[in-house]
């Protein structure tokens, strides 16, 4: 499946574009890291404030390549068009290409027609600067990558997850004996308000009505919340568990403050 267009890969081979994603402080594949700098580090890219567009495709031999372009607007337009079922010729100019990386950092379920099956390119230290071939994070076992994917799923399917929670879930109140892991995470979240974390640790996206969907991540945990509702926590040390945190008296103010400091997508 070719999404349209072809860009230059190594040795001037045409790259058949399969998909693209944004890598910006406010919007990046969270499976790659808890924040934007961590996601960039995984790809060997400098965490520039403007961000990148990542174009994933195959060359004529079927090899996997990822092209990082600083033309973020072009990639955003392409993604928006594809999401609407429209064709879009995604062909970044050579001047906008920041790096050509062997492999894919994410799973891609499609392949280009008329070329061999997707495979990693042969290592070429002179051509790629000795970069290791990119591979998707391991999500088969519970850990940071799977935890972040779980938080992504809750954000996408908020209504489904919310229906599973009783309306009388209470926020941890002073004087009680809360789950120690929950208490620790909430303290770390509050600390972000006085000691801002790396870009991308706290993000805000549209939700229904006037609400916002908040996403916060940190060492070993992820939080998903709506500014008008409750929060869900996922922890590395509690595999597969989703811990709801009711609004109570404290959560509304915390979420409002987080939304005030959160990064938001440009559109």
Residue 169 confidence (pLDDT) above 70: no
% of residues, the chain, pLDDT over 70: 88
| Rounded distance between C-alpha atoms, residue 118 and residue 57, angstroms | 9
pLDDT digits (tens, 9 = 90+) for 18-45: 999 999 999 999 999 999 999 999 999 9
pLDDT tens digits along 183-205: 899 999 999 999 999 999 999 99
**pTM value?**
0.88
% of the chain residues with pLDDT over 90: 73
């Amino acid at each position: 499946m070719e999404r349209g267009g072809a860009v230059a890969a190594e040795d001037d081979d045409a790259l058949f574009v399969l998909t693209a994603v944004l890598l910006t402080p406010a919007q990046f594949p969270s499976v790659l890291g808890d924040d934007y700098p961590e996601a960039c580090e995984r790809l060997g890219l400098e965490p520039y404030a403007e961000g990148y567009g990542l174009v994933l495709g195959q060359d004529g031999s079927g090899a996997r390549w990822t092209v990082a372009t600083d033309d973020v607007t072009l990639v955003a337009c392409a993604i928006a068009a594809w999401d609407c079922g429209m064709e879009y010729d995604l062909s970044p100019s050579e001047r906008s290409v920041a790096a050509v990386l062997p492999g894919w950092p994410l799973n891609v379920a499609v392949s280009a027609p008329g070329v061999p099956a997707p495979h990693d390119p042969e290592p070429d230290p002179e051509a790629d600067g000795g970069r290791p071939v990119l591979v998707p994070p391991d999500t088969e076992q519970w850990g940071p990558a799977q935890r972040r994917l779980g938080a992504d799923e809750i954000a996408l399917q908020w209504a489904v997850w919310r229906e599973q929670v009783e309306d009388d879930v209470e926020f941890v109140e002073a004087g009680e004996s809360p789950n120690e892991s929950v208490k620790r995470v909430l303290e770390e979240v509050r600390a972000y308000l006085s000691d801002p974390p790396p870009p991308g640790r706290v993000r805000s996206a549209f939700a229904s009505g006037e609400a916002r969907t908040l996403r916060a991540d940190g060492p070993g945990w992820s939080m998903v919340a709506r500014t008008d509702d409750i929060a869900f926590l996922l922890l590395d040390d509690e595999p597969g568990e989703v811990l709801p945190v009711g609004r109570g008296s404290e959560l509304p103010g915390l979420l409002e403050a987080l939304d005030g400091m959160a990064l938001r997508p440009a559109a």
